[in-house]
Structure 1
């Protein structure tokens, strides 16, 4: 199957994916050590959809899901973190052509590739982009936002590394491997 970057299936996945991303934002586990920082399950789902549908879908789901979710949940949008959700979605999706999960393949090389990419993407996003955005856009104190970014980033990296990898592996196992079906004579 040829993978198109943007087609009807991808557009539908973006709409449904953004809606599910919003719903999953409400399922959080507070950490308690840093204000406004929780373990979030929505990035596990974002990882799955991005590696299936690619960087455009991942980026738009992160952007739409986070911004609409912020507006609904808090009444305003925290753009510095929305930008990172979009960046993370794009980063997850950049390897969609390298991974063969739609063909039922998600072996150790794929697991390592996915996790290297997700760690680098999330580290750049949460450790640098989010805090610098908070300082630039909202004039937040550097010490506070870098602590929030580091804690959120580590939590998301670990959560996606464990449960995102597991979810992608489970999804891959549900797919038919190329060449596995034979025509009976």
Structure 2
């Protein structure tokens, strides 16, 4: 695993954060539960985390969610911002054996990635986010655990569907390793 960010990673964090903010802010589907939406941005976060690793994934999720909160609400909801960063980090770790640059994303890799992203989303949104809401903001447990369970489901779907489709499309756009031959 890489120990530091390279220039391309820093550029990816900047561009990834900008796209994440736009998706997070403007392509959100309301669920009917306050402050809980289906966010396709998490599917994009999956792609960026797999391509650039856990540190870049953390930074894109953390910075992107922070900017979205400040530009939308005028303040930040730190518990969920932290969780967006943790999700980016987790997706980067889960995807570390996937090399989309080689032009392949096998069915086995997709299944492995999606099993573990479900586990990560469960831990983050059903466990960490509600506990942080209670500790930081003294929110009522029934409210934040309801939001957490719903967020787990919608974020799992966003990563599983949008993230997998984006990774598959990206891999298909790359030249497969060994596919070129010398005449």
Which category of TM-score, normalised to the shorter sequence, fits these structures? Answer: over 0.9
Question: Quick check: 90-99 or 43-52, which moved more?
Answer: 90-99
- Consecutive unaligned residues of structure 2, counting only runs of 5 or more, are none
Computed over aligned residues only, the root mean square deviation of the Cα atoms, in angstroms, reads: 1.5
- Indicate the SS of the match to 1:77: coil
Q: How does 1:144-159 map to 2 (within 5 A)?
A: 144-159=143-158
Q: How much does 1:95 deviate?
A: 3.2
Contact 1:53–1:96 (Cα < 8 Å) also in 2: no
The runs of at least 4 consecutive aligned structure 1 residues that moved more than 6 Å come to none
Superposed, which structure 2 residues align to 1:29-44 within 5 Å?
Answer: 29-32=29-32, 34-44=33-43
In structure 1, distance between residues paired with 2:96 and 2:141: 38
**What is the rounded CA distance, in whole Å, between the counterparts of 2:121 and 2:91 in structure 1?**
9
- The secondary structure found in structure 2 opposite 1:94 is helix
* In 2, Cα distance between equivalents of 1:133 and 1:88: 15
Residue pair 1:5, 1:53 contacting (<8 A) in 2 also: no
Give the match's secondary structure for 2:171: helix
- Is the 2:95–2:113 contact (alpha carbons within 8 Å) kept by the matching residues of 1? no
Matches within 5 A, 1:105-120: 105-120=104-119
User: Paired residue for 2:77?
Assistant: 78
- Asked whether the 8 Å contact 1:54–1:95 carries over to 2, the reply is no
2:94 counterpart SS class:
coil
- Post-superposition shift, 1:145? 0.2
What residue is the counterpart of 2:52 in the other structure?
53
Q: CA deviation at 1:5?
A: 5.4
TM-score of the aligned structures, taking structure 1 as reference length: 0.94
TM-score by length of 2: 0.95
Q: How many residues align?
A: 182
